[in-house]
């Protein structure tokens, strides 16, 4: 029944969207909430600190876990049916669990604090940017949530009789269970909860989140609970399922430990509402309270919801599209919406934030950003920020430089001022170089360059970003020293980073450095195996790995030399030197045939970052551009849809959505660090890009698409920039941001 109701609900929401004209009304937050997309339909503001998300992945046997990993990396899955609360401060589109704590749950009837028992099925589920609602059928409670940038708000509409609001501090996606909560007065509690160990990384320190929670009505009574473990030696005998919950009916001063919580009990009239505000901080409870008081001085749910909607609409309106189908508009604006979730701000309203890898508290006068999934986002998300939101991109770059000043290293996969070292490479270099090469230069480039040289030249295991740099610097590649050490994947990322570093060095007049790092960036050639026509791991003795299966890893099973993919997913992953790769593969025809075979044989994986640029590589060979235009159109139609499973896999904090958004605009930043875009057939007949005249020559550029009448036209015949025919299929960033009108003239399909 839930499946039918949810499908009807989404259909109704979509029908309502089509009656509107604002970009915000084309967003369907349920896209990507199944099929491993790991997005969620929770309420938040653009790049906001706070998100309030329905939590339905624990608490009931009906909420099935990931079949492969046994755990969830998302607080919400569309396929699940039992709601166990609202999680505060969540991650979107990530592949590992963390955050999603401070679970807020309304119930009615007898008090129950065991999350395995109090969960409820739900119906009437709806979501729009900045708002989510459902109806809990077990309790006849309507729930609604919204948010300001740092503070969440919930509104619960209760049935007549005894009702309760629970704050569960023991459960969530984080591996940490320790917490403390204390009563401030009848309507307010405060406390702290431990978070951390993202992706189960042992190197990452845990960190606290502080909260202040207020209810809009004085409760009839309130109290705490604590999970009581059975006796015996903890490490040996602990069994959570064998324990019980002890409820404290009278407030003591405070309670602390693992698996604790607080409750409020209300005697309600039919249809009575209680609003709950949750302010948070990563600095202190005092800051959490100040965030709450400054952003939500009173619990005005409707005003907060409308303000969040306006913020989203303002950001989404930087691009206006016309033509295309209604579903295509939903896919486009939902993709842009996903790109505006992370990185998100970290600082409190007073500017304070926790310094990188430190207990020090610092203060900033501008936005301090966090959640840098850089192995993913260096490929397209930051390029979109540079184009549409240059002020924010500059602040993100300045944040990264400050992280280096605070910790001694640029971020790799940073989470709330803690480095997880997840994934590989040196991804801050392409992000900052790309920003610099596109003319955004209001940051300390000398300190950034110092950081890049440090990570590129520091030897050995002490190099946090390039732990196998000894081999790389000495040999020009990373040999396979352990069976599953991702050596080829590591080296390919180093080549990309070194090429962008060479570009930056050349821009800064550092010719010797430019020559050195450019030469290093060509070391990928060591891995090319003529026998298989793919990259292949190299053993410490200099010989290729034998036996070798270039398809091993296709289903994410462990694979010598490659991370989350196979040799075919990585063999064209050198966008900085495609001419060199063409020569290595025996010329243009051999290159085209081999690349086409990746798609013909089903080896291409649109969810895998190393190969997401593959469709665009045909455009580097004259006469083969049509293949790019054909493939991109087909991939968009097949894998990006207006459905809960409408992302082809993990969104990677907006990167997979970014592929779709750029592609639908008719351009793609194929190689980070190169200030240009590969042009493909746009999805829409007219696209208006609003630009910031503080940074760019034009305040807007209009893209028009002209098709022959009554003819299926999917291929580009000609592109004109302000009336002048463009030579080829690449458009520079300077030309794009200085133009008034770009016209695509299409021709019939081949």
Note the pLDDT of residue 235: 39
Confidence band for 20, pLDDT divided at 50, 70 and 90: low
Note the pLDDT of residue 750: 60
Query: Which of the two residues, 19 and 303, has the higher pLDDT score?
Result: 303
Query: How confident is the prediction for the chain on average, in pLDDT?
Result: 93
48: CB partners within 8 A, 6+ apart: 147, 148, 149, 150, 344, 345
Q: What pTM does this model have?
A: 0.95
In this predicted structure, the answer to whether residue 607 has a pLDDT above a threshold of 70 is yes
In this predicted structure, the answer to whether residue 136 has a pLDDT above a threshold of 90 is yes
Strands (DSSP E) along 473-625, which ranges? 528-529, 534-535
Token pair recorded at residue 440: 């955004």
Of 52, 178, 39, 43, nearest in space to 103 by CA: 52
CATH homologous superfamily of 467-573 equals alpha-1,2-mannosidases domains (1.20.1610.10)
Token pair recorded at residue 272: 């009575």
671: CB partners within 8 A, 6+ apart: 575, 576, 613
What are 413-435's pLDDT values in tens digits?
999 999 999 899 999 999 999 99
Domain boundaries 31-221+267-314, corresponding CATH code:
2.70.98.10
* 323 burial level (CB within 10 Å; 0-12, 13-18, 19+): middle
In this predicted structure, the answer to whether residue 93 has a pLDDT above a threshold of 60 is yes
Note the pLDDT of residue 232: 44
What share of the chain has pLDDT > 90, as a percent?
85
Instruction: Return the H-helix or E-strand segment holding 163.
Output: strand 161-168
DSSP 450-476: HHHHHHHH--STT-SS-TTHHHHHHHS
* Cα distances (angstroms) measured from residue 507 to each of 267, 500, 511: 69, 11, 9
What are 687-736's pLDDT values in tens digits?
999 999 999 999 999 999 998 876 777 899 999 999 999 999 999 999 99
> Looking at the chain, which residues constitute the CATH 1.20.1610.10 domain(s)?
467-573
710: CB partners within 8 A, 6+ apart: none
> Looking at the chain, which residues constitute the CATH 2.70.98.10 domain(s)?
31-221+267-314
Strands (DSSP E) along 269-380, which ranges? 273-281, 319-322, 344-345, 352-354, 361-363, 369-370, 372-373
In this predicted structure, the answer to whether residue 5 has a pLDDT above a threshold of 60 is no
In this predicted structure, the answer to whether residue 494 has a pLDDT above a threshold of 70 is yes
What share of the chain has pLDDT > 70, as a percent?
93
CA pair distance 63, 47, nearest whole angstrom: 29
Helix axes 301-316, 326-339, angle to 10 degrees: 100
């Amino acid at each position: 029944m839930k499946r039918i109701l949810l499908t009807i609900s989404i259909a109704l929401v979509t029908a309502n969207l089509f009656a509107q004209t604002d970009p915000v009304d084309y967003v369907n937050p349920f896209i990507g909430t199944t099929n491993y997309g790991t997005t969620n339909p929770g309420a938040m503001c653009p790049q906001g600190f706070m998100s309030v998300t329905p939590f339905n992945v624990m608490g009931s046997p009906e909420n099935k876990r990931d079949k492969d990993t046994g755990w969830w990396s998302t607080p919400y899955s569309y396929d699940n049916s039992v709601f166990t609360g609202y999680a505060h401060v969540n991650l979107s589109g990530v592949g590992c669990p963390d955050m999603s704590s401070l679970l807020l749950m309304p119930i009615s009837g007898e008090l129950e604090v065991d999350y395995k028992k109090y969960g409820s099925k739900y119906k009437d589920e709806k979501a729009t940017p900045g708002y989510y609602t459902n109806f809990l059928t077990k309790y006849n409670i309507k729930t609604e949530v919204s948010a300001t940038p740092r503070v969440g708000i919930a509104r619960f509409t209760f049935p007549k009789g005894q009702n309760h609001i629970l704050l569960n501090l023991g459960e969530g996606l984080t591996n940490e269970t320790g917490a403390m909560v204390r009563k401030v007065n009848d309507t307010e509690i405060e406390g702290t909860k431990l978070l951390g160990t993202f992706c189960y990384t042992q190197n990452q320190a845990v960190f606290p989140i502080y909260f202040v929670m207020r209810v809009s009505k004085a409760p009839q009574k309130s109290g705490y609970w604590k999970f009581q473990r059975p006796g015996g030696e903890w490490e040996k005998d602990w069994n959570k399922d064998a324990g019980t919950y002890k409820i404290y009916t009278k407030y003591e001063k405070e309670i602390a430990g693992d698996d604790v919580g607080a409750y409020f009990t209300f005697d309600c009239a039919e249809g009575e509402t209680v609003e709950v505000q949750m302010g948070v901080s990563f600095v202190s409870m005092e800051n959490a309270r100040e965030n709450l008081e400054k952003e939500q001085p009173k619990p005005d749910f409707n005003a907060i919801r409308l303000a969040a909607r306006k913020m989203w609409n303002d950001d989404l309106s930087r691009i206006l599209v016309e033509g295309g189908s209604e579903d295509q508009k939903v896919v486009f604006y939902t993709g842009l919406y996903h790109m505006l979730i992370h990185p998100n701000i970290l600082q409190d309203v007073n500017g304070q934030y926790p310094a990188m890898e430190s207990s020090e508290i610092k203060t900033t006068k501008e936005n301090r950003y966090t959640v840098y999934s850089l192995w993913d986002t260096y490929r397209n998300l930051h390029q979109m920020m540079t184009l549409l939101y240059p002020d924010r991109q500059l602040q993100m770059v300045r944040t990264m430089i400050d992280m280096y000043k605070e910790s001694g290293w640029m971020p790799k996969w940073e989470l709330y001022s803690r480095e997880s070292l997840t994934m590989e490479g040196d991804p801050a270099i392409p992000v900052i170089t790309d920003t610099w090469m596109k003319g955004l230069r209001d940051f300390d480039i000398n300190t950034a360059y110092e950081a890049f040289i440090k990570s590129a030249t520091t030897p050995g295991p002490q190099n946090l970003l390039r732990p196998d740099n000894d081999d790389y610097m000495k040999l020009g590649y990373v040999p396979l020293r352990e069976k599953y050490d991702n050596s080829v994947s590591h080296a390919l990322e180093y080549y990309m980073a070194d090429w962008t570093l060479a570009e930056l060095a050349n821009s800064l007049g550092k010719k010797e450095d430019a020559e050195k790092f450019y030469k290093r960036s060509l070391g990928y050639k060591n891995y090319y195996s003529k026998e298989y026509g793919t990259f292949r791991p190299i053993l410490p003795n200099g010989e290729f790995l034998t036996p070798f299966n270039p398809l091993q890893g296709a289903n994410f099973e462990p694979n010598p030399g490659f991370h989350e993919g196979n040799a075919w997913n990585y063999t064209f992953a050198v966008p900085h030197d495609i001419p060199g790769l063409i020569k290595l593969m025996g010329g243009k025809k051999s290159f085209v045939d081999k690349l086409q075979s990746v798609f013909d044989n089903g080896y291409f994986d649109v969810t895998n970052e190393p190969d997401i640029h593959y469709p665009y590589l045909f455009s580097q060979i004259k006469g083969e551009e049509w293949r790019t235009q054909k493939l991109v159109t087909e991939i968009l139609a097949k894998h990006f849809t207006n459905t809960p499973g409408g992302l082809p896999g993990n969104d990677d904090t907006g990167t997979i959505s970014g592929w779709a958004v750029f592609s639908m605009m008719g351009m793609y930043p194929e190689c980070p660090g190169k200030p240009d875009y590969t042009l493909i057939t746009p999805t829409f007949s007219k696209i208006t890009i609003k630009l910031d005249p503080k940074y760019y020559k034009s305040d807007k550029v209009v893209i028009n698409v002209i098709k022959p009448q009554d003819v299926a036209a999917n291929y580009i015949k000609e592109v004109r920039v302000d009336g002048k025919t463009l030579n080829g299929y690449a458009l520079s960033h300077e030309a794009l941001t200085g133009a008034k009108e770009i016209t695509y003239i299409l021709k019939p399909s081949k």
